[in-house]
Structure 1
Amino acid sequence: MPLMPHPAPEDLRRDPLPLRGRTALVTGASRRAGIGHAVARRLAAYGASVYLHHHVPHDSAMPWGADRIEDVIASVRAALGDPGARVVAGPGDLTEPSAPAELIATATETLGGRLDILVANHALSGSDGTLDTIDATMLDAHWAVDTRSVLLLVQAYARHRATLPPRTPGGRVVMMTSGQDIASGMPGEIAYALQKGALASITRSLSTTLTENAITVNTVNPGPVDTGYATGEIYDAVAAHSPAGRWGMPDDPARLIAWLTTDEAAWITGEVINSEGGFRR
């Protein structure tokens, strides 16, 4: 059936549950203050069943501490738009080379045998420094978590989608980058900036690779988001550089990410998109 130049009027009306019947894996969704949790709530509200990946030992070692996974799950379930959808969660240490493929397999099986959406939100916090202070251990740690595991997740996800009927709709990958290539960059986080820059650079290649499987691949820079890690003078200084006079909230980038997973964004792929609210570095 040929495509029509203009959609029918009824097709212009927004579906309140654009992800009804779809399934999603969101990694790094272990804190209610985090972006992963906000993305999962949006996907659930749009009708998707969601698998929440978490790695509590990482958060436990950070100044902000770990959240109760049961509370995270309950919060996402409270947002479910489709009563027939599900929210489940499971752990995964993505520093292990075999963990990404295992996670994709577990999420796929748990969600009924098909995985439509992959949001690779996880990242390593800390273990970083300036050019003068970084070492091989820091670089290797960020490579393993921030880049290698993401690529292996995409690989395993693509292999799963290849087993489905040709051009099965709904295939979506969203990766996360940062502001490493904007203004003065991130000179105090060289290892993190390097690996996040790698994801931005590989976005177009991945999208071209996966086009024949009807999978879009996009990468989002969420900008400065208040996830509980900054306080005091640093917090005030960042807010002062935003036209809105505030930090981004987790739901700010989550709205963009969730939209990219819907059919409305089916024609957008291979893009690195900044969601910074006009933040001036």
Structure 2
Amino acid sequence: MPQLPPPTPAQLRRDPLPLRGRTALVTGASRRGGIGYAVARRLVAYGAGVYLHHHVPHDAAMPWGADRIEDVVDGVRAAAGDPDAAVCAGPGDLSEPHVPAALIDTAARALGGRIDVLVANHALSGSDGTLDAIDAAVLDAHWAVDTRSVILLVQAYARLRAELPPRSPGGRVVMMTSGQDTAGGMPDEIAYALQKGALASATRSLATTFADLAVTVNTVNPGPVDTGYLTGDAYAQVEAMSPAGRWGMPDDPARLIAWLATDEAEWITGQVIDSEGGFRH
């Protein structure tokens, strides 16, 4: 079998816009303090056109509150350094079974007919508990948002990619997991841990499913990231467990996710990757 030639000197020089001409859908990008926003800013800074999914009622019900979507879009577009950069946004309640496929269709039409990169960043916050506290309704709510909607998004994305010429470049899926498989697990968030663990477990199967389409599938555990959900003594306790003496910031996992979206990462697939600064569990 012929071997691929080594990269040329020109190929070794990093393109400052490695996602130029590519498109991306980032879910759960509805507030400027979140990981989705940081990921979207990285992707547009790399040259991608981006569609931001949001579900404002979810954030509005949380202690951190909701941002104006216009401010979120403006902040992402500013990262591109181009006032005319392709940055679009739209709502979607991903707990509804029909919404994932509709979102893929809407985002693709807004971005010129295709989606190269899918970053499934959304999740249901709150309404969880210990084994003794949870019930069927809590389990079902987390299943619908944290797992079912992601798989349905990936399914619709696969059907869209199948319409492109065989093995079209740039296909990427990135899902998000959490600390459920680390030492100690997440005993106070059983429903959330269960559903996020399901995504981690499905990563390799999905990667194999997408291999013929030349699409990579990876899952990122961002570790403790300061998105405004914890303060006071609890915040300090987590901070003390990091060798760097700080929490992760949203841009920490965003840098990894943006790199996974580039051609430099085309040989990385089926992996669950921890991005947590050596956090001591």
Q: State the TM-score bracket (shorter-chain normalisation).
A: over 0.9
The list of structure 1 runs, each at least 4 consecutive aligned residues, that deviate by more than 4 angstroms after superposition, is: 81-84
Tell me how far 1:4 sits from its aligned partner. 3.1
| Preserved contact between residue 216 and residue 270 of structure 1 (Cα < 8 Å) | yes
Equivalences for residues 18-33 of structure 1 within 5 A:
18-33=18-33
How far apart in 2 are the matches of 1:22 and 1:3? 28
Q: Provide the rounded CA distance (Å) in 2 between the counterparts of 1:200 and 1:137.
A: 23
Q: Deviations over 1:217-262 (max 9, x none)?
A: 0000000000000000010000000000000000000000000000
Partners of 1:12 and 1:83 in 2: CA distance:
30
TM-score normalised to the size of structure 2?
Answer: 0.98
Q: Please tell me whether the aligned partners of residues 77 and 85 of structure 2 are also in contact (alpha carbons under 8 angstroms).
A: no
CA deviations over 1:129-168 (Å, ceiling 9, x no partner): 0000000000000000000000000000000000000000
What is the alpha-carbon root mean square deviation over aligned residues? 1.2
Q: Does the 8 A contact of 2:218 with 2:271 survive in 1?
A: yes
User: What is the one-letter code of the residue matched to 1:69?
Assistant: I
Please name the residue that 2:262 is paired with.
262
Contact 2:122 2:146 in 1 (8 A): yes
Matches within 5 A, 1:169-180: 169-180=169-180
3-state secondary structure, aligned to 1:79? helix
AA aligned to 2:101 is A
Q: Distance in 2 between matches of 1:202 and 1:235?
A: 31
Deviations 1:190-216 (A, max 9, x none): 000000000000000000000000100
Are the counterparts in 1 of residues 52 and 88 from structure 2 also a CA contact under 8 Å? yes
Indicate the SS of the match to 2:163: coil
1:115 corresponds in structure 2 to 115
Look up the match of 1:35: 35
Change over 3 Å in CA distance of 1:81–1:6 after alignment to 2: farther
Matched, 1:246 2:246: yes
- Structure 2 residue identity aligned to 1:66: A
CA distance in structure 1 between the aligned counterparts of 2:157 and 2:91, rounded to whole angstroms: 18
1:92 is displaced (CA, Å) by 0.3
Code of the residue aligned with 1:187 in structure 2: it is P
Q: Report the residue type matching 1:33 in the other structure.
A: G
Secondary structure at the aligned position of 1:175 is classed as strand
Alpha carbons 1:47, 1:82 under 8 Å: kept: no
Q: Say how many residue pairs are matched.
A: 281
Matching residue of 1:163: 163
List gaps (5 residues or longer) in structure 2.
none
1:184-203 paired onto structure 2 within 5 Å: 184-203=184-203
SS at 1:205's partner residue?
helix
2-side partners of 1:74 and 1:83: how far apart?
9
CA contact (8 A) 1:30 1:53 kept: yes
Question: 1:86 aligns to what?
Answer: 86
Distance 1:15 1:225 in 2: 29
**Alignment match, 2:45:** 45
SS in 2 for 1:144: helix
Secondary structure of the corresponding residue to residue 209 of structure 1: helix
Query: Structure 1 residue 11: deviation in Å?
Result: 0.5
The 2-side partners of 1:57 and 1:8 are apart by: 50
- Aligned residue for 2:128, secondary structure, equals coil
Q: Percent identity?
A: 80
Structure 2 residue aligned with 1:210? 210
**2:105 maps to which residue?**
105
Letter in 2 for 1:198: A
- Using the alignment, how far apart are the partners of 1:81 and 1:164 within structure 2? 30
Structure 1 portions without partners, runs of 5+? none
Mapped contact 1:17–1:47 kept (Cα < 8 A):
yes
Question: Partner of 1:13 in structure 2?
Answer: 13
- Residues 110 and 224 of structure 1, relative CA distance in 2, 3 Å threshold: same
CA contact (8 A) 2:33 2:250 kept: yes
CA contact (8 A) 1:45 1:79 kept: yes
What is the one-letter code of the residue matched to 2:16?
Answer: P
Deviation at 1:84, TM superposition (A): 6.1
CA contact (8 A) 1:253 1:275 kept: yes
Contact kept, 8 Å, 2:77 with 2:83, in 1: the verdict is no
How far 1:6 moved relative to its partner? 1.5
**Match for 2:263: what amino acid?**
D
1:114, distance to aligned residue in structure 2 (A): 1.1
